[in-house]
Chain A
Amino acid sequence: EIVMTQSPATLSVSPGERATLSCRASQSVSSNLAWYQQKPGQAPRLLIYGASTRATGIPARFSGSGSGTEFTLTISSLQSEDFAVYYCQQYNNWPPRTFGQGTKVEIK
């Protein structure tokens, strides 16, 4: 089973600042990685797939990079609506399609 490890667990950022979230896979997942945003009481929302392709309707301030085992989600200038929990998920080698444990982005 591929283990996905996200860091940090919590990221404190001021509005307008850049946020950088990391996701590491225990073995290569090529570029078969997705990022999701989840707000309290809501279902997750797909932000990025294929490690770097923004999903439909996702603002350009969200960008993804990486391949193999190391991945990054960058939010270039945090808006108030971006404070949420972010998860990575690999879909290269399954079952299971493992998720990371999440990174909470909170207001500093």
Chain B
Amino acid sequence: QVQLVQSGAEVKKPGASVKVSCKVSGYTLTELSMHWVRQAPGKGLEWMGGFDPEDGETIYAQKFQGRVTMTEDTSTDTAYMELSSLRSEDTAVYYCATGVWGYDAWGQGTLVTVSS
């Protein structure tokens, strides 16, 4: 059974960057395709990007192109999502999630607050 444990809440100023981690247990990261989803306060779920095993590449939602970078450290089975040039609209809970058909494993979420 896959378990995903994310890093703690962050408070950032506009223009800064944030890097959220997602530690995998129960499987190795190389066995999974990790994706990231965010949820602004009181809003719905928004897909940010994820690994495509068919292409062997990470694919990003167009909305975040140029601002988001998703990386993996297979030596520690930890995935990372870095979002730069933060603005107030980026205040949200960020989730890592994985699954073959739909996401059957989710991290607990990381609240990122962007405020001056």
Which A residues are within 8 Å of any B CB, using their own CB?
1, 32, 34, 36, 38, 43-46, 48-50, 53, 55-56, 87, 89, 91, 94-102
With A32-B101, A102-B44 as given contacts, are A95 and B35 in contact (CB-CB < 8 Å)? no
The count of chain B contact residues (Cβ–Cβ below 8 Å) is: 24
Q: What are 23 A-B interface contacts by the 8 Å CB criterion?
A: A34-B102, A36-B45, A38-B45, A43-B107, A44-B95, A44-B106, A48-B102, A49-B99, A49-B101, A49-B104, A53-B101, A89-B45, A94-B47, A95-B61, A95-B62, A96-B47, A96-B62, A97-B35, A99-B44, A99-B47, A100-B44, A101-B44, A102-B44
Docked pose: A94 CA to B51 CA in angstroms: 11
Docked pose: A54 CA to B16 CA in angstroms: 41
**A-side contacts of B101, CB under 8 Å:** 32, 34, 49-50, 53, 91
**A-side contacts of B62, CB under 8 Å:** 1, 95-96
**A-side contacts of B45, CB under 8 Å:** 36, 38, 44, 87, 89, 99, 102
B106 & A43 in contact (Cβ 8 Å cutoff): yes
Docked pose: A45 CA to B37 CA in angstroms: 13
B80 touches A (CB below 8 Å): no
B17 touches A (CB below 8 Å): no
Partner of B102, one of A89, A94, A95: A89
Docked pose: A87 CA to B95 CA in angstroms: 15
**A-side contacts of B59, CB under 8 Å:** 94-95
